[in-house]
Structure 1
Amino acid sequence: MRVMKWSMIALAVAAGTSQMAIASSQDESKGFLEDSKLNVKTRMLYFSRDFRNNDRDEDGNRQSRREETGLGFLGTYESGFTQGTVGVGVDAIGMLGLKLDSGKGRSGTGLFPTGSDGRSQDDYSKGGAAAKFRISDTVLKVGDQFTALPVFATDDSRLLPEIAQGALLTSNEIKGLTVHAGRFTSLTAQEETNRDSFRLKEADVFGGTYAFTDSLSTSLYYSKVEDYWRKYYANVNWALPISDKQGLVFDFNIYDTKSDGRGLVRADKDGTTKLDNRAFSLSGAYNIGAHTFTLAYQRVTGDGQYGYGVDGGGTVFLANSIARSDFNAEDEKSWQARYDLNFAEFGIPGLTFMTRYARGTGANTDVTNNGKEWERDIDIKYVLQEGPAKDLSLRVRQATYRSSDNVYGSPSLDELRLIVEYPLSIL
């Protein structure tokens, strides 16, 4: 368990050197109310998934199209910390989702809870709170929270995000080193209000990130999800400047996953498929002025697909996990070509464009052997830079997916998302 040994050494060094720090975050605390922040983000989302005249969706249900529109409100309050050696604070989350358009034959987009009659609810709400404690540059947060760890990351790809319940310790005592240790006991899905949406019993996470220089960093994490799996994760990211307007960025990610306990694969499935696999990706990006060109390669080896979900819908830090497919089936090999354009270089700040193509081969699933799949995505986003509606963003995301072998459960689909977001800072 090299990751745990490495992180414990880092913590010991942090404890021995923290007294040498000139000023910590807690020393600079202004107070519980004085450092408070209150933000509200409004999101309107139109979601359409067309199964291309197929009378069944990817789950085998008789449905050829999913199409819904919703309006979501996400409010977050973050207090400051009380002054003193141990700072105390509170964070709170409040969310509301409203259905603007739907229908019994078009539900199931993941925007709203679905009733027994197959219809989406008109509205739903969820929220929570967490207590937080800070000593020097180390924070312990206990309660409801969002997470972005490579082995436990909440998802925010629909109307309202997932919320994790548990405890997370974050330490920044050494310059360049961030250490995490946590335990989570439940997870609320994006379209659900039930705190135990994924039937998560317990997930323990440990690890950290260290920046050797401004251009070179590495991460190492470990997690164990009871009755599902244990994971190791490693990352190396290297940015290589060439000139003022040119540069290269290389990024390597790898997961080692092995079944634990009952070996469940997903939160809503009682099957016991054993996992013992490695999933890795390597990408290289070349930036020149407004243009960025990226190539990526990804592969899964061993038994079973790369599994995630019960440990957060965003826990897939792999290059070819894109809009529709993750290209993470057993034995699958995939590559990706991507192009990004930033219009700020042409006098239109806030406007960006992205397109990519990914192709996978050799995928083994329950329904196919040596399967093939491909996906093409287009993403256009504009953020207002000034005026009364400053920071309002308009985004169009389109995905085309095809598979002659039903790798993803559906031979083909076209997906369209129209997203309008407006973040408002009240405090």
Structure 2
Amino acid sequence: MKTALTFTPLFLAIAATISPLAHAADAPPADGFVEGSTLNINTRNYYMNRDRRDIHIDDSKEWGQGFLGIFESGYTQGTVGFGLDAHAMLGLKLDGGGGTDGSSILPYGSGSGKAPGSFSTGGGTLKMRAFDTELKAGDLFLNNPVIAGGMTRMLPETFRGVSLTNHSLDGWMFEGGQASFAKLYNQSGHGRIGTSYGALPKGESSQHMNWAGMAWSGLPGLTSNLYASELKDVWNQYYYDLDYTYALNDLISLNPGLHFYHTQDTGHALLGDIDNNTYSLHFTVGVGNHSVTAAYQRVNGNTPFDYIAQGDSVYLDNSQQYSDFNGPNERSWKLKYAYDFAGLGLPGLTSAVSYISGKTDLTKVDPNSRGYSAWYNADGKNAKHWERDIDLKYVVQGGKAKDLAVRLQWATNRGSNGYSAVDRDVDEYRMIVDYPINVF
């Protein structure tokens, strides 16, 4: 019998208000609703080209221009302050979007198979602050190891729900919340929260997701996070990480780290049986402007490591531009070299090159699984794939174009016959141009 992970309103309230009075005297005074307000606009031009080499079709191309405006008010004066946040998004199609790409830049086409010329959405959030505790209700930008919208596409994903955050203790952050709906990267409307790799039964959905967690950074160079979440009637998921950076001297630094997830089915188990332990280990050596990282990742379970649909809540070292290297029973390793061109007198220019290789056994997947049967392959006992990534980014350091960023990304993924059903042979190119504008 599996134990359900339950988050009651009382639990969330306690988790987010630990010792609020301990630092009441130190709480920063409210700036005022108007005086503390900010308005920022980010313009993002995004081009993606996916060349599916194994199925010999034309390149899948999408090019769009996105606009994201975020208004954040200050808080009203008093022991308990109130405020309001709001955002608006607009996506414009510049080229492509035939409805088959799946890159999450432009909406999928309807009967015509063509993406619309534009799509937009907006949302608001009511917020309240008392001492070091903040409550938000409405449309949320979330970014933690178990539920994260992220910014890896033209426009971000948002969630509709409630969140609580507390910073009462020095070096600690506590948070919890519940979300019932998500607006995906390339959509205007909201839908129930889904998963990235699991296929929910037709007509079925999870009604909400609960989460709670804490982050600690109490010692120089050392950070740790502990989170738990429940995607109702799908899974309970737990996460832990530990990361330490040690400077040997002014030139050399060492950085070991660990990420660990445990996922277990719960409730009506809409994706079937899940019992998955996934972890990754990394070790980075930094020498001046150079760094070299070696990483190892392991999935222990007959289902893939899964996470919230289109999100970035995959805090694993071998999650790459194209593949997450998260297949059932998959083992993968990575070697990465990064260089900061400030060492050559070009501040703002950075680069990275990575190579990742993975191996798995897809014959152990249950072909009758309710959610992951597509991963089964009778010929996949020694399925393999690899990915090579090149990343080049430049951020303007001064002048009228200060903070304008141009990023070029190239990924090549190749798989054996046993892996082709779940990960394509792909060459993928991305060009991303960001220009943030601080209005006030």
User: Please, what TM-score do these two structures have when normalized by structure 1?
Assistant: 0.90
Secondary structure in structure 1 of the residue aligned to 2:170:
coil
Say if 1:321 and 1:388 are closer, same or farther in 2 by CA, change over 3 A.
Answer: same
Asked whether 1:399 is paired with 2:411, we answer yes
Which residue pairs with 1:126 in the alignment?
121
Asked whether 1:376 is paired with 2:377, we answer no
Cα RMSD, aligned residues only: 2.4
Asked whether 1:100 is paired with 2:94, we answer yes
* Structure 1 letter corresponding to 2:433: V
Which residue pairs with 2:283 in the alignment?
284
Say if 1:39 and 1:236 are closer, same or farther in 2 by CA, change over 3 A.
Answer: same
Q: Distance in 2 between matches of 1:324 and 1:11?
A: 40
Asked whether 1:91 is paired with 2:89, we answer no
Asked whether 1:18 is paired with 2:4, we answer no
1:164-175 matches, cutoff 5 A: 164-175=159-170
What is the Cα deviation at residue 155 of structure 1? 3.2
Which residue pairs with 1:60 in the alignment?
none
Match of 2:350 among 337, 352, 369: 352
Which residue pairs with 1:161 in the alignment?
156
Say if 1:17 and 1:180 are closer, same or farther in 2 by CA, change over 3 A.
Answer: closer
What is the Cα deviation at residue 263 of structure 1? 2.5
Secondary structure in structure 2 of the residue aligned to 1:319:
coil
Deviates more, 1:90-99 or 1:155-164: 155-164
CA contact (8 A) 2:159 2:179 kept: yes
Which residue pairs with 1:44 in the alignment?
45
Which residue pairs with 1:58 in the alignment?
none
What is the Cα deviation at residue 113 of structure 1? 1.1
Which residue pairs with 2:112 in the alignment?
117
Secondary structure in structure 2 of the residue aligned to 1:153:
coil
Asked whether 1:176 is paired with 2:171, we answer yes
Secondary structure in structure 2 of the residue aligned to 1:91:
strand
Which residue pairs with 2:62 in the alignment?
68
* Structure 2 letter corresponding to 1:422: Y
What is the Cα deviation at residue 406 of structure 1? 2.7
* Structure 1 letter corresponding to 2:133: T
Q: How many aligned positions are there?
A: 408
Which residue pairs with 1:152 in the alignment?
147
Say if 1:140 and 1:13 are closer, same or farther in 2 by CA, change over 3 A.
Answer: closer
Say if 1:19 and 1:117 are closer, same or farther in 2 by CA, change over 3 A.
Answer: same
CA contact (8 A) 1:3 1:207 kept: no
Deviates more, 1:211-220 or 1:175-184: 211-220
* Structure 1 letter corresponding to 2:429: L
Which residue pairs with 2:328 in the alignment?
330
1:414-425 matches, cutoff 5 A: 414-425=427-438
**What do residues 365-414 of structure 1 show as CA deviations (whole Å, max 9, x unaligned)?**
32333311100000000011111111111110000000013356344110
* Structure 1 letter corresponding to 2:218: F
* Structure 1 letter corresponding to 2:298: R
Say if 1:17 and 1:74 are closer, same or farther in 2 by CA, change over 3 A.
Answer: closer
Structure 1 regions of 5+ residues with no counterpart?
56-62, 265-271
Which residue pairs with 2:376 in the alignment?
366
What is the Cα deviation at residue 249 of structure 1? 1.1
CA contact (8 A) 2:24 2:131 kept: no
Secondary structure in structure 1 of the residue aligned to 2:215:
strand
What is the Cα deviation at residue 11 of structure 1? 5.8
* Structure 1 letter corresponding to 2:90: L
Q: Distance in 2 between matches of 1:274 and 1:193?
A: 33
Q: Distance in 2 between matches of 1:206 and 1:348?
A: 42
Secondary structure in structure 2 of the residue aligned to 1:417:
strand
* Structure 2 letter corresponding to 1:54: I
CA contact (8 A) 2:206 2:233 kept: no
* Structure 2 letter corresponding to 1:224: E
What is the Cα deviation at residue 194 of structure 1? 2.0
Say if 1:143 and 1:355 are closer, same or farther in 2 by CA, change over 3 A.
Answer: same
Asked whether 1:301 is paired with 2:300, we answer yes
Say if 1:239 and 1:162 are closer, same or farther in 2 by CA, change over 3 A.
Answer: same
Q: Distance in 1 between matches of 2:55 and 2:320?
A: 23
**What do residues 234-256 of structure 1 show as CA deviations (whole Å, max 9, x unaligned)?**
11111111111211111101000
Which residue pairs with 2:234 in the alignment?
228
Q: Distance in 2 between matches of 1:379 and 1:12?
A: 39
Secondary structure in structure 1 of the residue aligned to 2:21:
helix
User: Please, what TM-score do these two structures have when normalized by structure 2?
Assistant: 0.88
Secondary structure in structure 1 of the residue aligned to 2:313:
coil
Secondary structure in structure 1 of the residue aligned to 2:342:
helix
Asked whether 1:212 is paired with 2:218, we answer yes
Q: Distance in 2 between matches of 1:102 and 1:14?
A: 49
Say if 1:9 and 1:261 are closer, same or farther in 2 by CA, change over 3 A.
Answer: closer
What is the Cα deviation at residue 344 of structure 1? 1.1
Q: Distance in 1 between matches of 2:15 and 2:209?
A: 24
Asked whether 1:141 is paired with 2:136, we answer yes
Q: Distance in 2 between matches of 1:103 and 1:20?
A: 52
Say if 1:205 and 1:14 are closer, same or farther in 2 by CA, change over 3 A.
Answer: closer
Q: Distance in 1 between matches of 2:17 and 2:210?
A: 22
CA contact (8 A) 2:149 2:157 kept: yes
What is the Cα deviation at residue 10 of structure 1? 12
* Structure 2 letter corresponding to 1:399: A
Say if 1:21 and 1:241 are closer, same or farther in 2 by CA, change over 3 A.
Answer: farther
**What do residues 95-114 of structure 1 show as CA deviations (whole Å, max 9, x unaligned)?**
00000111638754321112
Structure 2 regions of 5+ residues with no counterpart?
195-204, 363-374
What is the Cα deviation at residue 309 of structure 1? 2.3
What is the Cα deviation at residue 64 of structure 1? 4.1
Which residue pairs with 2:255 in the alignment?
249
* Structure 2 letter corresponding to 1:130: T
Say if 1:408 and 1:163 are closer, same or farther in 2 by CA, change over 3 A.
Answer: farther
Secondary structure in structure 2 of the residue aligned to 1:355:
strand
Asked whether 1:202 is paired with 2:208, we answer yes
CA contact (8 A) 1:139 1:169 kept: yes
CA contact (8 A) 1:325 1:408 kept: no
